[in-house]
């Protein structure tokens, strides 16, 4: 019933579903070949034949945006998974064990949080080489610190609950208590945060791709599509504007759903 009362939520869900469809089955959304180049059709404005116009090589821009969703969204999703796994593991170990280990791990996390995420991602990409998966690793490590802090705080909070103390008094082993009672309840805020982080990851991946650190031409990627249109802004504004608008719309839709998920929890 929440969806029916909030049209914006319905629209956001539809946008996210279309984005997922573009990742899984892009041919359903665009029958055009994103790599097909027709010289006589270069730099055509948006029209019924080419919804987003064509680029400087005569390739259909709408098709390239649709097929570019696969790399951009997949890299962002992988980045969030890496951030959750690394951050949650560090935060859970830190909160569960405490002591000197907690102090050392949290100081490392403080360093990660202090370094701008985009800078850390650039360092990782420069070390491992260009490509969407290097970007995903860099963005994921940049987000891991925030996940670690949230997980640690939740573990410390849940450990004080009565049902955890009761399980301990009953003689249940500490690792079992952590796995069955503490971690499942501590993970809920982390899941909500992961959904919200996905929008940030999409922006970070697109920004790195815009700078040229993503998939190399002719592979389409949202950030690289925006970058490719920079030289034609004065005459063919749609080349940068329309892919950029798509990125913004998807990020806003993901953030809207993530906020609703957090409210429901």
- Model confidence, pTM: 0.87
Instruction: Decide if 46 contacts 238 (C-beta within 8 A).
Output: yes
Report the pLDDT averaged over residues 162-170.
70
* Angle at the Cα of 86 from the Cα atoms of 84 and 88, rounded to 5 degrees: 60
Asked if residue 9 lies in contact with residue 49, where contact means CB atoms within 8 angstroms, the answer is: no
Compute the average pLDDT of residues 234-251. Answer: 92
How much of the chain, in percent, has pLDDT values that exceed 70? 93
3 state SS for 12-79: HHHHHHHHHHHHHCHHHHCCCCCCCCCHHHCCCCCCCCCCCCECCCCCEHHHHHHHHHHHHHHHHHHH
Q: How far is CA 241 from the centre of its chain?
A: 21
Q: pLDDT confidence of 265, banded at 50, 70, 90?
A: low
Confidence of residue 263 (pLDDT cuts 50, 70, 90): low
User: Which residues make Cβ contacts (< 8 Å) with residue 43, sequence separation at least 6?
Assistant: 53, 54, 55, 56, 232, 235, 236, 239
pLDDT at 72: 92
167 or 156, greater pLDDT = 156
Domains of the chain: 2-264 (1.10.3720.10)
Answer whether residue 230 shows pLDDT above 80: yes
Q: Which residues contact 102 (CB under 8 A, 6 or more apart)?
A: 94, 95, 152
d(CA 197, CA 210): 20
Contact 186, 158 (CB under 8 A): yes
| Beta-carbon count within 10 A of 209 CB | 26
C-alpha torsion 247→253→259→264, nearest 10? -150
At residue 253, the pLDDT reads 93
Q: Would you state the pLDDT for residue 164? A: 67
């Amino acid at each position: 019933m929440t969806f029916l009362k909030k049209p914006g939520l319905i629209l956001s869900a539809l946008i996210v579903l279309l984005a997922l469809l573009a990742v899984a089955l892009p041919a359903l959304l665009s029958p055009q070949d994103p790599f097909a180049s027709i010289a006589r059709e270069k730099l055509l404005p948006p029209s019924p034949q080419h919804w987003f116009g064509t680029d400087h090589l005569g390739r259909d821009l709408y098709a390239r945006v649709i097929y570019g969703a696969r790399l951009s969204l997949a890299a962002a999703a992988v980045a969030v998974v890496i951030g959750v796994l690394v951050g949650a593991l560090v935060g859970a170990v830190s909160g569960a064990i405490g002591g000197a280990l907690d102090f050392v791990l949290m100081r490392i996390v403080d360093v990660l949080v202090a370094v701008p995420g985009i800078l850390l991602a650039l360092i990782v990409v420069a070390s491992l080489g260009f490509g969407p998966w290097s970007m995903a690793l860099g963005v994921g490590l940049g987000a891991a610190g925030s996940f670690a802090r949230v997980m640690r705080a939740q573990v410390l909070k849940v450990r004080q609950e009565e049902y955890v103390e009761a399980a301990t008094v009953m003689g249940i082993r500490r690792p079992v208590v952590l796995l069955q009672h503490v971690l499942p309840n501590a993970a809920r805020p982390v899941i909500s945060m992961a959904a919200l982080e996905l929008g940030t990851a999409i922006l970070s991946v697109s920004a790195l791709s815009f700078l040229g650190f993503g998939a190399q031409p002719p592979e389409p990627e949202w950030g690289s599509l925006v970058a490719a249109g920079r030289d034609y802004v004065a005459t063919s504004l749609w080349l940068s504007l329309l892919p950029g608008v798509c990125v913004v719309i998807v990020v806003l839709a993901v953030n809207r759903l993530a906020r609703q998920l957090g409210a429901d929890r």
